[in-house]
Amino acid sequence: MKELFVLAEHRQGELRDVTFEMLTKGVELSQKTNADLTAVLLGHNVEKFEKELAHHAKKVLIIDDARLENFNAEAYQRVLFHLISERKPSLTLIGHTAFGVDLAPSLAAELNLPLATDCIDLDFEGEKLVVIRQVYGGKVNVKASLRKSESYIVTLRPATFEAHEPKPRDGDIVKIASPLSEDITYKRFIEYFQPPAGEVDISTADIIIAIGRGIKDTENMPVVEKLAEALGGVLACSRPIVDKGWLPSDRQVGTSGKIVKPKLYIAIGISGQFQHISGMKNSDLIIAINKDSEAPIFRAADYGVVEDLFKVVPSLTDKILEEKH
């Protein structure tokens, strides 16, 4: 029976959300193509994940090795090269995450199997695997087909596919001996590092005021800081603000930052590239303020204001303070 692999992604003792998003899609695809859904778990002392993965997949393959304790693409690649060559799954799903981008392309090149990255949808049209990707910052979608192969590799965009509670099942847990024989010395994981940040965790905030390039200069921050204060919310941002060093990286909303689901998300001066939208689109109420009527953010928001933020925000702050007193 053909297998469909989903590579479980975990970090610092927790399975990451993208794993379940992939497993849910994996259930759908494995049913359609009559394949067994197999979760692949690599790590060290990761038994605690076994049961949970077994709820979703027909089989859970576990390879435990001290060398796999902290993610190292080289070690993962060696193991997966071995697994995929031996078991020839029809498809291997990996998250398009910091892990995935480090691992998938070189794995695919070593196996010489076709790879499509950062996909927002995929399907088998007969034997042919077809994917949907986004290009030009999310302004254009692409439907692409992969070169015919017995085995494909695809990385899926996180926070895009829904993760559902599976129909209860109890997959087989299969432990496989690690094929790793030596330490990998030419690429070593040293340690995790949390850059100095504030006391604020935006992922737990109820009200988020997010700023983007439209703020133009760090000197203009007080304009939005006052609004955040008036609403009792926290300040977050899109990537360019972090790149410029105006806010610490733990304030970044997006696929490479944090995924947030607050009660209120006000996007100010943010154009709305997909990397950002993916990070906030499930917020309860989204209000976007941007001078550009064509900004993609308006396709993710509930309410839009096409106006100069430097005019609207101060007025809004004043009215909120009035309302509160």
Partner 1 sequence: MNVIVCVKHVPETAEAEIAIHESGKRIKTENLVFDINEWDDYAVEEAVLLKEKLGGSVTAVTVGPEDADGTLRKCLARGADRAVRLTDKAFEGSDSYAIAKILYKAIKNLPFDLILTGAQAGDDGCAQVGVVLAELLGIPHVTMVKKVESIEGLVKVERELEGGLEEIMELKLPALLAVQTGINEPRYISIMGIRKAMKKEIKVLSLKDVGLTEEEVGESGSWITVEKMFIPPVEKEAEILTGGVDEIATKIVETLRAKGLI
Partner 2 sequence: MEELSTIRKLNFNVCMQCGKCTGSCPVFPKSKLNPRRLMLETAYLTSPLTMHPPLNIYEKSEVWDCTTCSTCSYRCPREVEPMDVLIGLRGLLIEQGRVPPTLGDALEGVYKYGNPWGLSPSKRSEWAQDLEVKYVSEGEKAELLYFVGCAASYDSRAQEVARALVKNLNTLGVDFSILGNKETCCGNEVYSLGEKGLFEILVEKNLSLLDQYGISRILTTSPHCFNAFKNKYGKDLTVQHYTQYFADLIDKGKLKFPQRVEKVVTYQDPCFLGKHNDIYDEPRKIIENIPGIKLVELNLSRGRSVCCEGGGGRMWYDIPGERGRLAETRVKEAIDVGADILAVACPFCLLTFDDAIKTTGNEDKIQVMDIMELVAEAFLPSNVQCK
Residues in the site for partner 2, rule: CB under 8 A? 216-217, 219, 244, 308, 310, 314
238 binds partner 1 per the rule CB under 8 A: no
CA distance 173 to 178: 15
Site for partner 1 in 28-87 (CB under 8 A): 70, 73-74
Residues in the chain: 325
- Compute the least distance from the CB of residue 151 to partner 1, in Å: 12
The enclosing H or E element of 211 equals: strand 207-211
160 binds partner 1 per the rule CB under 8 A: no
CA distance 282 to 262: 8
Residues 6+ apart with CB under 8 A from 292: 271, 306
Give the residue carrying structure tokens 């800081």.
225
177 binds, among partner 1, partner 2, none (CB under 5 to 8 A by kind): none
299 binds partner 1 per the rule CB under 8 A: yes
208 binds, among partner 1, partner 2, none (CB under 5 to 8 A by kind): none
Per-residue 3-state assignment (H helix, E strand, C coil) for 43-97: ECCCHHHHHHHHHHCCEEEEEECHHHCCCCHHHHHHHHHHHHHHHCCCEEEEECC
CA distance 142 to 120: 10
4 binds partner 1 per the rule CB under 8 A: no
Q: Which stretch binds partner 1 (CB under 8 A): 23-31, 35-43, 165-173, 185-193?
A: 185-193
The enclosing H or E element of 170 equals: none
When the beta carbons of 114 and 314 are compared against partner 2, the nearer one is 314
Give the residue carrying structure tokens 């300040």.
235
- Angle, helices 73-87 vs 98-111, to 10°: value is 50
109 binds partner 1 per the rule CB under 8 A: yes
- Compute the least distance from the CB of residue 218 to partner 2, in Å: 9
19 binds partner 1 per the rule CB under 8 A: no
219 binds, among partner 1, partner 2, none (CB under 5 to 8 A by kind): partner 2
Q: CA-based Rg of the chain, rounded to a whole angstrom? A: 22
CA distance 2 to 175: 19
199 binds partner 1 per the rule CB under 8 A: no
216 binds, among partner 2, partner 1, none (CB under 5 to 8 A by kind): partner 2
88 binds, among partner 2, partner 1, none (CB under 5 to 8 A by kind): none
67 binds, among partner 1, partner 2, none (CB under 5 to 8 A by kind): none
- Compute the least distance from the CB of residue 103 to partner 1, in Å: 8
14 binds partner 1 per the rule CB under 8 A: no
